[in-house]
């Protein structure tokens, strides 16, 4: 477990060292690239302010992510169950991802206003597709011999789904969830760019308009922390729900070395 934190911590320290070294070597002015210490001081000075806006962005992200789970996983299962539905709906889902979310976000804001819900919808629109695709891939990855064995034992369709198909699909589903939680954060920020009075996306626009580069980097740091915490929360959920899977056991074996 200790190795899980040593390597990323070392990587972050290396990035900070290169950051400071670049400023010193090339004499980069602070308004273009503030030094790491100035960003840390700004984080400390505006900690409560940043926490408030970070909490709003986190709520939007989690709302879109949870909505994408509630809709995306059942939809993926339904598309596997019916080839007809898959042929009818899957092209529409692919086309929906071809539209830039920055172009769609203003429409959502116009239809639903400036509150929390439209940001949740924008985060959902970005996050649900990886979950649908991973659910479909997982459901189709089940060994046909296991399905034949279940039929030979006269197992019901529901029991086969709960005992065989869903457990075997879970690793693929969690792969989609890890991608989706990162996308949901991006979607929440895009929604705040289009129309918001709070949130880290709103702060990014405000800092950019005021040429406040130090605040800009402080907000980016806050977004990085949110992304890391949410990603590893999904990973912990994966370890708890499918401890038997080889990917989880392999990670644990590597961490114990």
Q: What does 225-243 look like in DSSP terms, one character per residue?
A: HHHHHHHHHHHHHHHHH-T
CA distances, 182 to each of 53, 58, 127, 220 (Å): 18, 12, 8, 14
> Does the 42-255 domain belong in CATH 1.10.3720.10?
yes
Burial environment of residue 71 by CB neighbours within 10 A (0 to 12, 13 to 18, 19 or more): middle
pTM reported for the whole predicted model: 0.86
Report the distance separating Cα 237 and Cα 151, nearest Å.
31
Domain coordinates in residue numbering, the chain: 1-33, 42-255
Asked if 141 contacts 164 with a C-beta cutoff of 8 angstroms, the reply is no
Report the distance separating Cα 7 and Cα 188, nearest Å.
29
- The pLDDT assigned to 102 comes to 78
First to last CA, the chain: 9
Report the distance separating Cα 182 and Cα 8, nearest Å.
17
Per-residue pLDDT of the chain (257 residues; tens, 9 = 90+): 555 678 777 888 899 899 989 998 988 888 889 999 999 999 999 999 999 999 999 999 999 999 999 999 999 999 988 888 889 898 888 888 887 777 788 888 888 887 889 999 999 999 999 999 999 998 888 777 666 667 777 676 677 777 778 888 899 999 999 999 999 999 999 999 888 788 999 999 999 988 889 999 999 999 999 999 999 999 999 999 888 765 555 555 545 55
């Amino acid at each position: 477990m200790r190795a899980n934190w040593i390597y990323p911590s070392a990587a972050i320290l290396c990035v900070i060292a290169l950051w400071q070294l670049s400023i010193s070597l090339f004499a980069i002015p602070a308004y273009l690239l503030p030094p790491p210490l100035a960003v840390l001081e700004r984080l400390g000075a505006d900690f409560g302010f940043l926490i408030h806006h970070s909490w709003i962005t986190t709520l939007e992200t989690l709302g879109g992510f949870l909505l994408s789970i509630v809709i995306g996983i059942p939809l993926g299962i339904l598309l596997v169950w019916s080839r007809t539905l898959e042929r009818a709906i899957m092209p529409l889902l692919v086309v929906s991802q071809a539209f830039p979310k920055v172009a769609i976000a203003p429409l959502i804001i116009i239809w639903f206003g400036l509150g929390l819900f439209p940001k949740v919808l924008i985060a959902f629109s970005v996050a649900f597709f990886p979950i649908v695709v991973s659910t479909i891939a997982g459901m189709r990855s089940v060994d046909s011999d296991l399905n034949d064995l279940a039929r030979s034992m006269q197992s019901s369709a529901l029991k086969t789904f709960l005992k065989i198909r869903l457990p075997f699909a879970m690793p693929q589903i969690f792969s989609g969830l890890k991608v989706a939680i990162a996308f949901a954060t991006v979607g929440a920020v895009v929604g705040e760019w289009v129309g918001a009075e709070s949130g880290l996306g709103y702060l990014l626009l405000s800092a950019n308009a005021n040429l406040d580069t130090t605040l800009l980097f402080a907000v980016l740091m806050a977004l990085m922390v949110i992304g890391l915490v949410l990603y590893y929360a999904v990973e912990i959920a994966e370890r708890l729900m499918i401890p038997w899977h080889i990917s989880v056991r392999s990670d644990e074996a590597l961490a114990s070395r």
